[in-house]
Amino acid sequence: MPSHVNARRSGRLALTATALALAAIGTSALASSHREAPFLAMSGRAVDGTDLYMFRSYEGGRQDYVTVIANYIPFHDPQGGPNFYQFDPDAVYEIHFDNNGDAKEDLTFQFRFDSTSKSTALSVGGKQIKIPVINSGPIDSVNPDTLNVRETYSIDVVRGDRRSGERGQVTQAGGGEVFDKPVDNIGTKSFPGGYEAYADLHMYDVAIPGCGNGRVFVGQRQEPFYIAVGKIFDLINLDPLGPEVGGNPNDLEFKNISSVVMELPIACVASAGDPVVGAYTTSSLRQGRLLNPSPPSRIGAAAIYAGPLAQVSRLGMPLVNEVIIGLEDKDRFNASKPMNDTAFLDYVTNPALPAFIESLFPVQAPTNFPRTDLVTAFLTGLEGVNQPQNVVASEMLRLNTSIPANLGTQNPLGVAGGDNAGFPNGRRPGDDVVDVSLRVAMGALCVLTGAEDTLNVGCTPADAPSGGLAFTDGVRRTAAEFPNAFPYLNTPIPGSFND
């Protein structure tokens, strides 16, 4: 974002003081980026980034690590056969880290996928006929003969610019540059030993050049994001001041997602001089495409891509492109980099969402323009919590890696609930980013900062008459509903879940 909001504001607040001040907010974002831009909705589902999570690992003995989860390919129906859901072999999927606050990537992990048919055939009337399904029998190991399609991936690590920086290859701890991705949870008959036991075979200890060791899992998980998405996009057809728990069903309850999960040493992603690290995920395709009506055995090769890479999806903080960026600029935002976010500044300083809510309900949108409180929430981070020392305002998810993980008492409202290890200090699966973002959009920070603006957000309670209200979509989950160990997301729903 702009240079005139680069400078770190003086008077860093103590973490405990900030937690107390924010304890009344109650919640933080809306829905994440599922089908949020026209290109992705119409033709780019496999490269559609939906959610990004980043947090200090809270599995026992892993306190020196950060876990980052990049979810792609929205709205998996569990019964998604015969092809189920695969990453695009012609795309590059990336997770970027900014460890000095300058809005430029310092460390990037690049994932490239391949998907190959084994051309499994049955003898039918004396002829060998290829089967029309993804497996020919039960699956209980990595890449068994009964699996008709093998999906693999490789991982590069790049320091500096994502295209021209110093490059190395992430390998399995015991050697090997190729990783197998588990096939989706086809159904209970296909996995006689249970799907989770099968998926566990695809969790890899990895060696990262210049970083030491970490862990990686890429595969299908149950969709962790929760929201009353249908009612929200039907002119917010719900009671925004109703019950926070159980007021509405979670529309994503019976969906799955494709996840890229990495656990990395803190020393790998954060600099020695500043514990705050920013992250965002992108996907890119080649600029040229030629339809190929007679593709080879490589899965997904009905088109040939060529030319330079073009970024088509970008995601850091939840819901930014979905409910902040204007419809005609959504594809442009997905193609942009954080260092160029000045082009989208008006969407943050003069947001449409609060005015839209005001037009639908008897509440009053904040009147402080430009909305410097939202610049803090979305573009710089909160002083004393997750703001880098020399921050350049830009949209990304930021985590203060010096704040210990909360192992047993996570609050779904994160910092707003007195839990500094949660959103917006990073994001965990159980964090209720929808409620928190709604409240912040309606001026919660202006109310909490008080007449003296102790949070240094550039507004006061007089600017936000409705900023103290407990806005909600009525959907809430907790950390108890998710695993407390890597990869931290639940087993995907089987395709035969209606049995």
**Strand pairing category for 256-265 and 303-315:** unpaired
Which residues does 200 contact at the CB level (< 8 Å), separation at least 6?
A: none
Look at residue 174 in the predicted model and tell me its pLDDT.
Answer: 87
Q: Where are the domains of the chain?
A: 3-481
Distance of alpha carbon 180 from alpha carbon 1, whole angstroms: 39
* 3-class DSSP state of 256: strand
Look at residue 484 in the predicted model and tell me its pLDDT.
Answer: 96
Look at residue 444 in the predicted model and tell me its pLDDT.
Answer: 95
pLDDT per residue over 94-149, tens digit each?
Answer: 999 999 999 999 999 999 999 999 999 999 999 999 999 999 999 999 999 999 99
Look at residue 373 in the predicted model and tell me its pLDDT.
Answer: 97
Look at residue 226 in the predicted model and tell me its pLDDT.
Answer: 97
H or E stretch covering 53: strand 49-56
Look at residue 290 in the predicted model and tell me its pLDDT.
Answer: 81
Give the E-state strand segments of 255-322 in sequence order. 256-265, 276-291, 303-315
Please state the pTM of the whole predicted model: 0.91
**Strand pairing category for 149-159 and 91-98:** unpaired
Q: Evaluate whether 473 touches 231 at the Cβ level (below 8 Å).
A: yes
- What tokens appear for 211 in the block? 């970083």
Sites in the chain below the pLDDT cut of 50 = 1-31, 35-38
Look at residue 314 in the predicted model and tell me its pLDDT.
Answer: 97
Which residue intervals of 23-96 are DSSP H helices?
38-43
Which residues does 148 contact at the CB level (< 8 Å), separation at least 6?
A: 117, 118, 119, 120, 131, 133, 134, 135, 136
